[in-house]
Amino acid sequence: MQKIDIDQTDRRILQLLQTEAGINAAAVGERIGLSQSACWRRIQRLREEGVIKDQPVILDAEKVGLSTMVFAQVKLTSHGRSNLTDFADAVRKYPEVLDCYVVLGNIDFLLRIVAEDIKGYERFIYEKLSQLPGVQEVNSSIALSEIKHTTVLPI
């Protein structure tokens, strides 16, 4: 993946888009001293180049009944390590898994999982995650409270 060159104006646009949900090109342009059309062209270029991946709505997990956040460390068997792609493909299908990372060290994957409660997470582990081929071990850490969560990159 290639790094995209972005100038200071692009950075200001990206900062506003990250921090102010739903802001439009006219408002961004007004805030940074560009016309609406010039700002819109820059935003479109940033989308086309893949700098802007998406503009999702971010929900409050607790308010929609998903109050348990778990970080699961997954270790695959030595045979399972040859099929890292199979594991990754399977995990992508589980909506409970919010993030999945391949990591270096004594584990193979780090997952961030959301559930209604501990029983819901237990069901997910026993009925889904532990049933995947090659899973040797799952170590879980339950998040007690959220200190900081952001999707804003420090550009």
pLDDT tens profile 21-70 = 789 999 999 999 999 999 999 999 999 999 998 877 788 899 999 999 99
Which pLDDT score is estimated for 78?
81
Q: pTM of the predicted model, to two decimals? A: 0.82
Q: Which residue has the higher pLDDT, 3 or 135?
A: 135
Least confident of 60-64, 94-98, 99-103, 139-143: 60-64
Which pLDDT score is estimated for 58?
82
HEC string for the chain: CCCCCCCHHHHHHHHHHHHCCCCCHHHHHHHHCCCHHHHHHHHHHHHHCCCCCCCCCCCCCHHHCCCEEEEEEEEECHHHHCCHHHHHHHHHCCCCEEEEEECCCCCCEEEEEEECCHHHHHHHHHHCHHHCCCEEEEEEEEECCCCCCCCCCCC
Question: Where do the structural domains in the chain lie, given as residue ranges?
Answer: 8-48, 62-143
Which pLDDT score is estimated for 89?
94
Q: Which fold has domain 8-48?
A: Arc Repressor Mutant, subunit A (1.10.10)
CATH of domain 62-143: 3.30.70.920
Between CA 91 and CA 9, with CA 48 as vertex, the angle to 5 degrees is 115
Mean pLDDT value across the chain = 93
Q: Same CATH topology for 8-48 and 62-143?
A: no
Which pLDDT score is estimated for 2?
80
pLDDT tens profile 13-35 = 999 999 887 899 999 999 999 99
155 pLDDT tier (thresholds 50, 70, 90): confident
Among residues 9, 132, 155, which one has the least CA distance to residue 79?
Answer: 132
pLDDT (mean) for 87-110: 95
Question: Which pairs from 102-106 meet CB under 8 Å and 24+ separation?
Answer: 106/75
Which pLDDT score is estimated for 95?
96
77's tokens: 């068997």
